Amino acid sequence: MTVKRDAWADPNGLLRGLSTFAMALSLVVVGFGLLTPGLAVAAEAPTATAVPETTEDLAELEERVEKVVQRCQRATVCVQSGGGSGSGVIISEDGYVLTAGHVAVEPGKTVTFIFPDGKKVRGKSLGINVGIDAGLMKITDKGKWPHVEMGDMSEVKPGAWVVAMGHPGGFDLERSVVARLGRVYRVRSTVIQTDCTIIGGDSGGPLFDLDGKVVGIHSRISNSLRQNFHVPISMYEQGWDRMAAGEVWNRLPKRSNIRPGGPYIGVQGANGFELGKGAKLGRIYPDTPASKAGMQEGDVIVEFDRSPIGSFGDLAEVVGNLEPGDRVPVKLMRKGKGIELEIVIGKAGGGE
């Protein structure tokens, strides 16, 4: 197999190759056509978290990823509704589709699902867990649909290899499904954080383990590799009955980005600070994690939990995907001098 660095298209619909960054944590697989649908891929070496140490190890990993893509791509669909486009994955023969809550938007919306070969079928949106960004849809046309199995979140650990699939930028028949290999960076009860490179249009697409089982759904996308977030499959299992019934719940409070009991550091952003330069702190609330960590008004946070920060919005996003009690490093600028701190994430409404 020829290893290339760049992604390329396969208009003939044949499995043609993998793009690999040797020994790195991200690999791109683009341009797979229709192949036999399936459920799980046999678990063989390398292990789920092993880093290739030889060319033979790398070849084994590539082979395993090929099997995941071959078996799972037919169930990875493009979702079109109201002029927007996202992705989804079919998880049952009768056509239930997992997607992101912001792709589903609201229950009862008419949607079009596009398969990798261009075939279109009709469907509708069902329930949404807004706060988690989990959504459910269903194909309403009659048929037996290719589908994948849902995985076991207890098996998803930091360092595990995962394959992100979707239709970035919308459906493209000449390119078909796009798959990218990466690793899990962090696992929390309501979020999986990976270094898989995903962009607009990928939202709602599946994150697979190396057994070809879906373990997450793409949610929030960022320019930073380590700020790509996925809804854990367990959130769909826990909310299944409500989503299938078309319920909408866990709406975020209006006028506030802080949810009771959620992660909290106790700062307010400064107005008028240039985007892309960091998060400037306009106020530090007393007796909060930020004040206890030694942060001061006027500080500019440029890195939080090893994620680059270009704005106060970036800071809010990173903090929002942590959990109370997490201890994370912070890099900031104070009067032109770089400073490194450590902060313990607190709980909104409950201090630390």
- What value does the mean pLDDT take over residues 162-191? 91
pLDDT at residue 13, rounded to an integer: 32
- pLDDT category of residue 351 using cuts at 50, 70 and 90: very low
Q: How far is CA 131 from the centre of its chain?
A: 15
Each residue's pLDDT tens digit, 214-230 = 999 998 866 565 568 89
* % the chain with pLDDT above 90: 55
Q: Residue 6: what pLDDT?
A: 28
User: CA-to-CA distance for 121 and 123, rounded, in angstroms?
Assistant: 7
Whole-model pTM: value is: 0.68
pLDDT of residue 38: 33
User: pLDDT-derived band of residue 4, with 50, 70 and 90 as boundaries?
Assistant: very low
At 334, is the pLDDT very low, low, confident or very high (cuts 50, 70, 90)?
very high
Comparing 263-272, 278-287, 301-310, the range with the smallest average pLDDT is 263-272
Q: CATH topology for 1-251?
A: Thrombin, subunit H (2.40.10)
Which pLDDT score is estimated for 18? 35
Residues of the chain with pLDDT > 70, as a percent, come to 79
CB contact at 8 A, 86 and 217: no
pLDDT at 128 over 80: yes
| Structure confidence at residue 275 (pLDDT) | 64
What tokens does 173 get? 């028949």
The identity of residue 134, as a single letter, is: A
Between 46-55, 114-123, 185-194, 253-262, the lowest mean confidence (pLDDT) is in 253-262
Handedness of CA 101, 102, 103, 108 (dihedral sign): positive
| pLDDT score for 222 | 63
Instruction: Answer yes or no: are the C-beta atoms of 150 and 160 closer than 8 Å.
Output: no
Averaged pLDDT score across all residues of the chain: 81
Q: Which ranges in the chain are annotated with CATH 2.30.42.10?
A: 263-347
pLDDT tier at 29, thresholds 50, 70, 90: very low
**Residue 11: pLDDT above 70?**
no
Is residue 76's pLDDT more than 50? yes
- Give 272's pLDDT tier (boundaries 50, 70, 90): low
Instruction: Say which residue, 278 or 12, is predicted with more confidence.
Output: 278
Homologous superfamily of 263-347: PDZ domain (2.30.42.10)
Phi-psi region of 290 (alpha: psi -120 to 50; beta: other; left: phi over 0): alpha
Cα angle for residues 93, 99, 101 (degrees, 5° grid): 140
Residue 350: per-residue pLDDT: 52
Q: What is the pLDDT of residue 120?
A: 97
For position 260, what pLDDT does the model report? Answer: 56
Segment holding 135, helix H or strand E: strand 134-139
Other CB atoms within 10 A of residue 118 CB: 12
Task: Name the residue with higher pLDDT: 211 or 320.
Answer: 211
pLDDT at 223: 57
**DSSP structural state of residue 47:** P
